[in-house]
Amino acid sequence: MKALVTGGHGFIGSFLVERLLKEGFHVRCLVRKSSNLQWLKGLQQVELCYGDLTTPKSLPAACQGVEIIYHIAGTLTGANLDRYFSVNTQGTIDLLKATVQVAPNLKRFVFVSSVAAIGPSNHFQVSDETTPCQPVSIYGKSKLEAEKDLIQNFSHIPYTIIRPTIVYGPRDQHFLTFFKFAKRGIFPVPHPYERYYSIIHVSDLVDGIFQASQNERAVGQTYVMCNPEYYSFETMAQKLAAPFQNNPKFIPVPKFAIKLIGVAGDLHQWWTKKETMFNSQKLPEVTAAAWVYTPQKAMDELGFKIQTSLEEGARQTVAWYQKHKYL
Ligand SMILES: NC(=O)c1ccc[n+]([C@@H]2O[C@H](COP(=O)([O-])OP(=O)(O)OC[C@H]3O[C@@H](n4cnc5c(N)ncnc54)[C@H](OP(=O)(O)O)[C@@H]3O)[C@@H](O)[C@H]2O)c1
């Protein structure tokens, strides 16, 4: 089976690439000239195709003759409005257009979206695929627009949409800040800090993505993927910080201070022209009271299940960060 993986050199994508190689797939990755390919090093079987989601003419070569596309690439943090939409929305549309042109034998287009497309949970009710979408961030809106375009204009393509919650695990750079606080034993949290989250370990997500891509029932479907259990911020932080054995403290940060940090992120981005992990765009996500979801549909229809407990995932992730000198 010939597969194209976009974002195959990133955190989630690189684990998926390893899994596909184990399954005997021929894997092509869309990479940019500027991409860091460290996680693909040593995987000689991977074919690299240079291109960019924001350069439509570079995409047909990547899609040429593939039978399955795992569209994982996306911009998650720190981008401005234009960039979120040009990569996450327009980039997905242009990839779909290229697919229609040059991949006549396509069996599946798997789009990794996000629960940010649904938005935070309302009054602590667990959200699922039937929950009306009310994204609160530009990131969530850009993912939702891509989903809508896929469903409305490319329904003749056998697609599957995956919406992961927070993903953690070895190689991740986005949630690393959380582990840095865990190491110090101090978590600054927006006041009031009674917040609830769903989360998933990268290996469980990769299993779920692969299962969905191989199951005919998943054609034309959308799946939330996360642990069935959700946690208060305090419980999640205690479990993930357990390897440090330092009994973390929680420091409430007033909302105005969070806003200031967001503005500082905006200024830093404007000055350096580099994307920052946190800016004003992220405020509504950080201050929402609950991001809790159920993967029941994926469990019922795909046999999706969680194999990595939060405790085991934390132990493994911290060990990896320490070994690679991130912590
Ligand atoms: N991590 C999470 O908690 C989480 C949760 C829900 C959904 N997701 C979704 O999962 C996907 C993967 O996220 P991740 O955590 O693995 O992030 P990541 O490590 O930052 O990977 C993102 C990948 O997208 C690529 N990319 C960005 N802009 C691109 C462009 N214009 N053209 C081609 N490739 C581009 C990046 O390549 P470069 O190295 O060249 O920039 C990178 O390989 C994203 O779509 C994200 O929205 C992630």
Q: Angle CA(173)–CA(110)–CA(75) in degrees, nearest 5?
A: 35
- Residue 9 Cβ inside 6 Å of ligand 1? The answer reads yes
Contact 50, 8 (CB under 8 A): no
- Tokens 């040059």 — which residue? 102
Cα separation, 190 vs 175, whole angstroms: 17
What digits encode the pLDDT tens for the residues 39-67? Answer: 999 898 999 999 999 999 999 999 999 99
Domain that residue 34 falls in: 2-172+198-228+292-314
Residue 260 lies in a domain: no
Residue 114 lies in a domain: yes
Residue 276 lies in a domain: no
Residue 303's alpha-carbon distances to 21, 117, 209, 298, in angstroms, are 22, 24, 12, 7
What digits encode the pLDDT tens for the residues 265-276? Answer: 888 878 887 777
- Distance of CA 88 from the midpoint of ligand 1 (Å): 9
Residue 264 lies in a domain: no
- Residue 169 Cβ inside 6 Å of ligand 1? The answer reads no
Per the structure, the count of domains in the chain is 1
CA neighbor of 225 nearest in space, from 115, 68, 323? 115
Q: Which atom of ligand 1 is nearest to the CA of 13?
A: 16
Residue 326 lies in a domain: no
Residue 263 lies in a domain: no
Q: Which atom of ligand 1 is nearest to the CA of 139?
A: 47
* pLDDT at residue 229, rounded to an integer: 96
Cα 189–chain centre separation: 22
Residue 208 lies in a domain: yes
| Sequence-separated (6 or more) residues with CB below 8 Å from residue 310 | 199, 201, 227, 231, 236, 239, 240
Residue 290 C-beta-side C-alpha neighbours within 13 Å: 14
CA neighbor of 73 nearest in space, from 61, 57, 62? 62
State pTM to two decimals.
0.95
- Residue 119 Cβ inside 6 Å of ligand 1? The answer reads no
What digits encode the pLDDT tens for the residues 232-254? Answer: 999 999 999 999 999 899 998 88
**CATH number assigned to the domain comprising residue 204:** 3.40.50.720
Residue 67 lies in a domain: yes
